Amino acid sequence: MTKFLIGFTYHEPERWALFQKGIIEDCESSTGIYVEAATAGEAIAWAERIAEELLRASNSDHNLDWKSLGYECWVVDDPIDSDWSHCLAYFQSVEIGAFPDFVNMGASAYGKWAEDNGIFPTQSCEPR
């Protein structure tokens, strides 16, 4: 088995609401998941199931259809040399048939992880 980093797009409710109102032009979020599989095709197929479940869980809507919304998955060919090189430790790892912890996959979870790992500092709102 090989561990593939699979990236995918989806949306979260806050950005979707702004997109629907015409306030923003792009509502997509992206994240990644390591999938242990025999082939990249198998890893992508399982990541598509994960992506749909994350979309549904994030939006509290079990009827959302990830594919019909035009979202996609891709293999990150060289993770160390990718735009995600700074956050590879953030991504969860699963085997085919297992789902990750969706609570720790969204934008707010990433923000907390990034803060905790010194990726970007928290802005203080305290008076000087």
Residue 77 lies in a domain: yes
Per the structure, the complete domain to which residue 34 belongs is given by 2-106
The tally of domains found in the chain comes to 1
Residue 111 lies in a domain: no
Evaluate whether 51 touches 8 at the Cβ level (below 8 Å).
yes
Residue 83 lies in a domain: yes
Rounded distance, CA 104 to CA 89, Å?
13
User: Tell me: the pLDDT tens digits for 43-71?
Assistant: 999 999 999 999 999 999 999 999 999 99
Evaluate whether 63 touches 18 at the Cβ level (below 8 Å).
no
Residue 68 lies in a domain: yes
Residue 35 lies in a domain: yes
Residue 45 lies in a domain: yes
Q: Taking phi first (over 0 means left), then psi (-120 to 50 degrees means alpha), and beta for anything else, what does residue 122 get? A: beta
Residue 118 lies in a domain: no
User: Tell me: the pLDDT tens digits for 8-53?
Assistant: 999 787 765 555 666 646 557 889 999 999 999 999 999 999 999 9
pTM: 0.84
